[in-house]
Every structure is written in C-alpha cells, then in structure tokens.
Structure 1
Amino acid sequence: MFKFQKYEFPKLGYVKVPRFKIGAESEIRLNLKSGYSSDDLLKALINEKFLEKVKTNVISKDKKEDYKKRLQFEVAELSKLKFTDYILLVYGVISFCKENGIANGPGRGSAAGSLVLYTLGVTQVDPLKHDLLFERFVSAARTDIKEIDNDIYISSASLPDVDIDTQASKKHLINEYLNSCFNNQTCAICNFSTLQSKVLLKDVLKTYKRFNEDDAKLVSNLIETKFGKVD
C-alpha cells in the first residue's frame, strides 16, 4: 500500500555551488596532480598570478611577504567556508571575458577587499594599498552552509557578492559560456525597473539645466495623487 512520507526541503533558500573545472592544458601548466581538489587549483592559480605580479613589479618585492601572508589568510578562510569553487567560477567568467574582448568593471563593493580576487585579476583594486578589509567580503559570522550528498549549499543571504559589471551587449556570450560549462543546468536573473509619473517627470525635468530640484518637485506635484497612488 502506498504511504505518504514527509519530505524536508533542506535546499530551500540555499544556492548549490557547482564544481569548477579547467582544461587539460591548464592542468599541465599549473602542474596539478591527478585527483587535485578545488583548493589545490585555487592555490596553483594564485601562485602563478602572484609571481607574475611580482615579476612585473605590480607588487613590489619589499612588500612581497605582506601580500603572501594576506593571501594565505584569505585562501584558508575561503576553504574553511566552502567558497573556493564559487571564487573559481567568478575567475572563470572574468577569464572568459578577457579572452573574448568583453569589457568588465574594475571591481566594486566588498569584493574589492579581497586580495585573492585582485591577484586572480577579477578586480583591479589592490586592497592592501587601499587598506580594504577582507572581512567585509567574507565572514564566518555571516555564512550559513549545508553539505548534502557531497554537494555544498550556501544560504542565498550569505553568498558573497562580486560586482563585475560585464558589458551589457555581450552578456549573452557569458550565459552561453556558463551553459557550456554546466550542461545547461543554469539559470539567470533579470531586473526590470519602472518609474511612476511623479518620479519620471521630476527626473526628466532635472536633466534640463533651467530646472532645479525645487522647480522639478513643484511641477511633479501637479500630478494628482489619489489614495496614495498616482493615476
């Protein structure tokens, strides 16, 4: 006889972090051994990029040890909080953009506080030079993680945000790249903004130099409001 069974939703409100993979050529270049972990890959990439920055004097040799110490701390934190694959995923997107002439921003928000992201070339802001805190980007106190069937799920509320501001006209190429990486098991979120009559008129008037803030507000207030809503 068929019986109903209570089903729990442990994944609801959590984001599954996909495993990031690189090509065989990159594995050879980075000297990765068979069965390497995501942490091994991240460390190898950071070592490669770090040496490049030191060699080109982007990071001065006299500050080298300070940068190494900060990188070791960040890598350990990212590994402990299970964010390694997420960081690698973002790195993969930025690398794809650079290889295909897709413009992206220098990095903003809390992500600019990560030396790992700066070293990987995801951001262009040196957090040590500008005294930026890594803890604003990632913190154990704000992180909620579940491990289910060997997969990592991070609470959507605690997932660190990396604002990379990619070129709008070529976003479809990035979507195609991600779909190819994860066998079309991806989704995308879009945002539509609308302006009501009062706000719209005020913003339009402010674009003309002869209308100041007070004038624009005075004119927009002529639009009738009923029960708190604009017709």
Structure 2
Amino acid sequence: MSSFAHLHVHTQYSILDGASNISLLIDKVKALGMEAVAITDHGNMFGVKEFHATALKKGIKPIIGCEIYVAKRSITDTSGKEDRSGDHLILLAKNLKGYKNLVKLVSTAWIKGFYYKPRIDKELLAQYSEGLIASSACLAGEIQDEILNGSLTGAEEALKAYIDIFGEDFYLEIQRHETNDPEADRTVFPLQEKVIEVFKKLSEKYKVRIIATNDVHFINAEDAGAHDRLICLNTAKDIDDPDRLRYTRQEYLKSEEEMRSIFSDIPEAVDNVADLVQKVEKYKLDHDPIMPDFDLPEGYKDDNEYLRFLTYKGAKERWGELTKEQVERIDFELDTIAKMGFPGYFLIVQDFLRAAREMGVSVGPGRGSAAGSAVAFCLRITDIDPIKYGLLFERFLNLDRISMPDIDIDFDEDGREDVLRYVVNKYGHDKVAHIITFGSMAAKMAIRDVARVQKLPLPDADRLAKMVPERPGITLAAAYAEVPELAKERNSSNKLISQTLKYAEVLEGSVRQTGIHACGIIIGKDSLDNYIPLCTAKDTDLYST
C-alpha cells in the first residue's frame, strides 16, 4: 500500500473550478493503492458528507478539510481591494473537535465574513484552532505571497503567526507543476521553485515540516482539457481566448511514484505526509436526531404530558364522546411517539400549523403516511380520520423501523413566507435554515456548455443535445446506448464535435450552481453551526445548509 495521500483536493463542489467527481475520485485513490485522501474545497463544506460516506464505504480513510480564505486584516474590514478575497490556507480536521471547529469557521466565514469570498481572520483561527491541522496552501497563501513580493521578513512574521496558532500542527506546503504544454500556464513553476527554496530555509530555522501536495482539481491527466473548459465556463471565456485563465494541466491525482519523482530532491516532503495522516482520527458524522426544544405552558412537566393534553382536547373537538377504539388508538400512538422520542416534533408541527391558520394561511389536509396517525388528526396536522378509513399508523411510525416522522404539509404560496417568519421568530434566526440544493450539468446541459466555449456552431450543438432522450436522469453513456447516431458522433471527423462530446462526458454531473429547496426547512435545538456547516443564499436572509 502507498504511504502517500493527497491532502489538497478539490471536488466538483469547488463549483466550476474542481472537476473531480467524488465517487470516481475515491475509486482512483483506491486504484493507486492509497489508504487516505482529503477534501479541501474552496471556502465550503458542501461535499463533506458525500465524501465521508463514499470514502468509508470504499475502505479509504476520509480526511475532512477546507481551503479557506484568511482576510488580510479583519473580517469586519471591507473597504479596500485587499479585503476582497483573502489568503488561502488549508485546514484539516484531525478529530471530531476539529471537525466541529472547522464547521464553525466555515459557517462564520459565510455569515459574518463574506466579502466577495467567505473569509475568516486570524483571531477566529486562534479561537477555533483546537483539533485542526493547517498547511500553507498554494501560491495564493499568505507566506508565499510575502516571498513572491520580496518580503522575507513578512514571510517569517506570517509563519510565526501560524505557528503561534497551530504549533506542530502547521505545515509548509509545496507543489511543483512543471509543464511544457503550450496550452498550460508555464509561469507557475518558476514561482513555485522560488517559494520552495525559501521554505527549505524557513523549515530548518523554525523546525516546521514540509509536505508535498498537488492541488488536485481533476482526477486523470487526460481530464485536463475538460477542466480547461470548466474554467472557461466559470470565467465566461472561450477556449481560444489568449487572455483566459489557465492552469498548469498538472493538477491531477498523481501516484506516489510520480510525487516521489517530482520531489526526489526533497524526499521528506513526501514522507511527512504519512505522519500527518496518522494524526487524523476516525470519527462519525452521523448522530441521532436532535429535536428542537418546544416551550411548554406552565403546569406541564414534559413534552409527553402536554402532547397528551392537546391530543385528547383535539380528539373531543373532532369526535365528541370518545369510543373505546379511539382511546386505545390514541394511547397506542402516544406510547409509540414517546418511546421513539418524537413528542416535541408533533408539538412543533401542530404549533406552526395553528399559527398559520390564525394568520389566515390556507393549510392542506396533509399527505403521505402521516394520514394514518390519529394523533396527527386530533392535532389538526392532518384532516383525514384514520380510524374511519382504516389507515395504519404503523406505516407512519414503527418501533421496528426507527426513522424520523415524515409529514407532508402544504401552504398557499403567499402564506408560506408568513409561516416561515413565525418559525424564525419563535426558535431564533440561528436555529432555522433552508436546505441547500445543487444544480448539476445534466447530459444536454453538458453538451451545450462545452459546445459554447468550444465555439461549436449553434446548429451542431442543438443537433447533438436534441439526440439525448428527453428523460430525467439520462446520462450520456445511456444516451449512446439508446441512440446509435449520437454514439457515432463521438468519432466524428469534425474535431469540434468529437471534442465536445469527449469533454461533456467528463463534466457531466458537475455542480453548476447552488439554490435552496422550495419547501425544506431545518429547525435546530441550538445554533445550527454547532452541528452543521452553514452558508448564505441569494434572495433570503435565512442561512442554508
């Protein structure tokens, strides 16, 4: 097995910058004989859950991280050009405490530090440094920037500041992207070499270890062309634009042998990676549901007692004098709800539905398996009598299959915002968030996007895209199997056509933009950034997660 691991890796969640599909990335890591890999997307943790689950499933040690932006001054400073982005820094969680601190830092960067980019500052770093490993990142890191601007004193001061914060968990990171490819950026390698020479001296003087990384943005060397086109999409440039942003085309997932060859004069830079990986503990991201607290009126000792009161009050309003069957059904359901720990869930849902009706918002009758609950019927969460229609409660909640209750609720379009505002006011702005969504390049979109930057004539682009069957979830691979004419175009004598399909295959599924779920809302017991990373979203003052 390889002792080397890639610790600076961008997935498709580095939106329109990273071209690495997480599942395929983990497959390549495994094929190269590596035992671990990190995720370090730009300023976000969007892909962390998928990455963690996929890596564990495939027997790879996941290292959760982020390439964050550190403000030149404070995150409260937003007046000058120097405040618009920030210096790059790699942060890796070495344990659960580090993961939680990373969540805090990334959330704060979006909520309080966003100015062109989500930013933190060194004061925040010092506050939430426990359990985190840091490295100096790429040429856009603070220490490198000082070196390249000719200030060795500034470089040393920056290094000492990071050592003060992270101690032995701070590393100097080096990269070498030598290339003779005329399509690539050949200005990077000389700058990297200049940084490396200074880093060697700083490492010896301050006893800081050096690690080798490759700033991975795509999986295979042959994916460089597709990544080029992704960058063109991001920057709204054509592929033949001489002034477009270029990468070195070396930012792929290289083998340990390749990395050792590149850094043969500094073998310890590769060796030190294994020691860093050993610092990272295994920890779980999943935990049991944490229900929000529901404020009880005076005179009730707990949620179960108050839920029982409201249920029987509603039962009498619904049915009048209760039958033995109705009482037994209610008691059975309340007992199950108590054992599963969900009385607070029912109290919260009935509360905002009550508020909605009082505000004149139209509320639907309830959909899905919740219609089988007599408790939901008594609380006016649903409007279908499950006893009358013989509906089963066990399809909704079952002690043999523990899962969160799932109640589908409909509000009229205008009233939805009023209900949301009520929830935010009741539970607190920091405890309520939208659910983020990711818009990805489907097969047709991938063809059209690549065709545009390739300057493939529009009639040809339309013809290719229209060959893809009109079906949700259709992939290019499936389209080729179903439409021989499209498969034949992969070998077209027109290079623009064959290249469009070739690169579209690589970029298919790439995350193109974020949005918010039309209906989904999360309510937390405490501030949500104690548990999950938050970000901001367009057209709403609520957070997203």
Question: Given the two structures, how large is their TM-score scaled by the length of structure 2?
Answer: 0.30
Partner of 1:147: none
Which deviates more from structure 2 when the two are superposed, residues 116-125 or residues 41-50?
Answer: 41-50
SS in 2 for 1:91: helix
Partner of 2:435: 189
Alpha-carbon distance in structure 2 between the residues aligned to 1:225 and 1:50: 55
SS in 2 for 1:187: strand
Change in CA separation of 1:170 and 1:45 when aligned onto 2, cut-off 3 Å: same
Q: CA deviation at 1:19?
A: 1.4
SS in 1 for 2:381: coil
- In percent, how many aligned pairs have the same letter? 27
Partner of 2:318: 53
Cα deviation code 1:71-112 (max 9, x no counterpart)? 000000000000100111111121111111111211111000
Change in CA separation of 1:105 and 1:8 when aligned onto 2, cut-off 3 Å: same
Find 1:16's aligned residue among 265, 290, 293: 290
Find 1:88's aligned residue among 344, 347, 351: 347
Corresponding letter in the other structure for 2:308: K
Partner of 1:169: 414
Corresponding letter in the other structure for 2:310: L
Corresponding letter in the other structure for 1:116: V
Alpha-carbon distance in structure 2 between the residues aligned to 1:132 and 1:172: 32
Partner of 2:45: none
Corresponding letter in the other structure for 1:178: V
Q: CA deviation at 1:2?
A: 7.7
Corresponding letter in the other structure for 1:167: D
Q: CA deviation at 1:14?
A: 4.5
Corresponding letter in the other structure for 1:20: F
Alpha-carbon distance in structure 1 between the residues aligned to 2:348 and 2:467: 50
Partner of 2:304: 39
Aligned residues: CA RMSD: 3.5
Alpha-carbon distance in structure 1 between the residues aligned to 2:358 and 2:438: 30
Corresponding letter in the other structure for 1:39: N
Alpha-carbon distance in structure 2 between the residues aligned to 1:50 and 1:224: 58
Partner of 1:159: 404
Which deviates more from structure 2 when the two are superposed, residues 168-177 or residues 115-124?
Answer: 168-177
Q: CA deviation at 1:190?
A: 6.2
Partner of 1:141: 400
Corresponding letter in the other structure for 2:420: N
Change in CA separation of 1:187 and 1:116 when aligned onto 2, cut-off 3 Å: same
Structure 2 residues without counterparts, runs of 5 or longer? 1-166, 170-278, 445-464, 470-475, 481-485, 487-500, 502-545
> Are the counterparts in 1 of residues 443 and 468 from structure 2 also a CA contact under 8 Å?
no
Cα deviation code 1:115-152 (max 9, x no counterpart)? 00001111000000110000000011221xxxxxxxxx
Change in CA separation of 1:190 and 1:142 when aligned onto 2, cut-off 3 Å: same
Find 1:73's aligned residue among 317, 322, 332: 332
Partner of 2:21: none
Find 1:224's aligned residue among 467, 470, 475: 467
Q: CA deviation at 1:7?
A: 7.3
Q: Give the paired residue count.
A: 180
Corresponding letter in the other structure for 1:162: I
> Are the counterparts in 1 of residues 371 and 386 from structure 2 also a CA contact under 8 Å?
yes
Alpha-carbon distance in structure 2 between the residues aligned to 1:98 and 1:197: 44
Question: Given the two structures, how large is their TM-score scaled by the length of structure 1?
Answer: 0.66
Report whether the alignment pairs 1:104 with 2:386: no
Structure 1 residues without counterparts, runs of 5 or longer? 56-60, 144-157, 199-221
Q: CA deviation at 1:191?
A: 6.0
Cα deviation code 1:27-69 (max 9, x no counterpart)? 3xxxx52x610001101111211222233xxxxx4x6221111
Find 1:121's aligned residue among 380, 395, 416: 380
Cα deviation code 1:142-186 (max 9, x no counterpart)? 21xxxxxxxxxxxxxx21210111222222212211111211111
> Are the counterparts in 1 of residues 363 and 412 from structure 2 also a CA contact under 8 Å?
yes
Alpha-carbon distance in structure 1 between the residues aligned to 2:468 and 2:377: 50
